[in-house]
Structure 1
């Protein structure tokens, strides 16, 4: 068995409130002991993910950034912002009654993003260094959201809902990037963990999926994979649930989940 673990970050490996992963350390140690690749898959930018990637000692394992819009090798500079600029131009063409209620990161200052996300100002600045996608908040009437999404779709823009934000992009999903990484690394078994709707495809595609309990959003409805037994749910939220579920899965797959 050649196993790879794919994980969402906010609300999954990272605590929703303080972005700590301390509670998941025993399972993280077990993955390193067994030399199992851990792939960070997030709506965050590469600039945001790379410091955590380095802190966790993940070496050359690739990163899935901006909700699956890009797969990035550590150390590769992402300086081309053409896709993001085009996305912002499309937003500018929308009628005022559709454009005004959507407030994206490009409409906010670093301080505003810090206040909304709870990130420190420096981290909020990294969150605004976008190359492929635009997260934001829909602040208009719910019945107008469909019209907003339809107008974007006419320009080739898709929208995916995460734990906090509605994220716009020109496509690409965590599941698509996961399939590419599995092929590149010659793996045949995938574990995926996530807590929000934008993780559903990744969870369903994995051999073993874990829905991490989400106490701060809509979470994930019952999935077909749960009925089939491929997907389970954690009893605890965030990194605590991540840790318990990962250790249990490693044991189930015939590995000693706890690091020696």
Structure 2
């Protein structure tokens, strides 16, 4: 049974809807099923590539839904929303950075599929899909904080920005999850938006949504207090990953769509 409220749910994946260690979303399936019954839009928003997201959408019965790929640098499921600046251009700019700084950043393009598999726990086949990038470059930073600030400045001179996620430092031409989220909202015109995430690169998305959920992730530092938490518009889960996701979404649905 559905009602007339159009809800659009924007959700991060790793550490949020997907378990940090196993990449399973099984614990969130009850809430996903309930969202499907209410015909809510579920928009995946991740650093993952389009190739990865399409497989996940198929597995989650979300095929045909829009999705924010590569941290919002690209969109799938909507027409006319791709960035004109490509992964190749990004890699070329990265190599213009002084070598003393460049040596501290090891991106996916510097790794083999076996390296990515070992680092992420993905299968070699899935790791290869993670390297099939169009717009952004995740990687590991091995230098200090002062060097990192200098690295940011060097990249910014070429129009490249960096965001910290749950695992990686991701370079892009500046479009964020929140920017891509705005395109989707304009296209879908929902009555209400809900966003869920666990990492710094989710903050703008959480704050832009009508309702936000910070999903606990014991594998990295707590996010700072967000403005929306003071009025209850943004809440935090006690349980991590898909367990916390499921509880929070069901509690929100209890209010919006009582069964």
Aligned to 1:93, the other structure's residue is in SS state coil
Q: Does 1:9 align with 2:13?
A: yes
Point out the more displaced range, 177-186 or 158-167: 177-186
Q: How does 1:167-246 map to 2 (within 5 A)?
A: 167-246=170-249
Q: CA deviation at 1:95?
A: 1.1
Query: Which runs of 5 or more structure 2 residues have no equivalent in the other structure?
Result: none
Q: CA deviation at 1:116?
A: 0.8
Q: CA deviation at 1:59?
A: 3.1
- Does the 8 Å contact 2:54/2:63 carry over to 1? no
- Does the 8 Å contact 2:85/2:173 carry over to 1? no
CA–CA distance in structure 1, aligned partners of residues 106 and 112 of structure 2: 11
- Paired position in structure 2 for 1:84: 87
CA–CA distance in structure 2, aligned partners of residues 82 and 172 of structure 1: 11
Match of 2:97 among 78, 84, 94: 94
Aligned to 1:112, the other structure's residue is in SS state helix
- Paired position in structure 2 for 1:163: 166
- Paired position in structure 2 for 1:70: 74
Match of 2:49 among 42, 45, 49: 45
CA–CA distance in structure 1, aligned partners of residues 165 and 103 of structure 2: 21
Q: Which digits, 9 at most, give the CA deviation of each residue in 1:107-140, with x for residues without a partner?
A: 0000001111111111100000010000001101
Q: How does 1:240-255 map to 2 (within 5 A)?
A: 240-255=243-258
> Judging changes above 3 Å, is the alpha-carbon distance between structure 1 residues 3 and 82 closer, same or farther for their aligned structure 2 residues?
closer
- Paired position in structure 2 for 1:120: 123
Q: CA deviation at 1:2?
A: 1.6
CA–CA distance in structure 2, aligned partners of residues 40 and 153 of structure 1: 28
- Does the 8 Å contact 1:182/1:188 carry over to 2? no
- Paired position in structure 1 for 2:59: 55
Structure 1 stretches of 4+ with a deviation exceeding 3 A read none
CA–CA distance in structure 1, aligned partners of residues 158 and 42 of structure 2: 35
Q: Which digits, 9 at most, give the CA deviation of each residue in 1:163-201, with x for residues without a partner?
A: 000000001111121121112112121000000000000
- Does the 8 Å contact 1:68/1:176 carry over to 2? yes
Q: Which digits, 9 at most, give the CA deviation of each residue in 1:134-171, with x for residues without a partner?
A: 00011012221000010000100011110000000001
How large is the RMSD of aligned CA atoms in angstroms?
1.8
TM-score by length of 1: 0.94
Match of 2:149 among 135, 143, 146: 146
- Does the 8 Å contact 1:191/1:209 carry over to 2? yes
TM-score by length of 2: 0.94
Q: Which digits, 9 at most, give the CA deviation of each residue in 1:62-115, with x for residues without a partner?
A: 1110001011128x9x9x996111111111111111100000000000000111
Aligned to 2:95, the other structure's residue is in SS state helix
- Does the 8 Å contact 1:81/1:130 carry over to 2? no
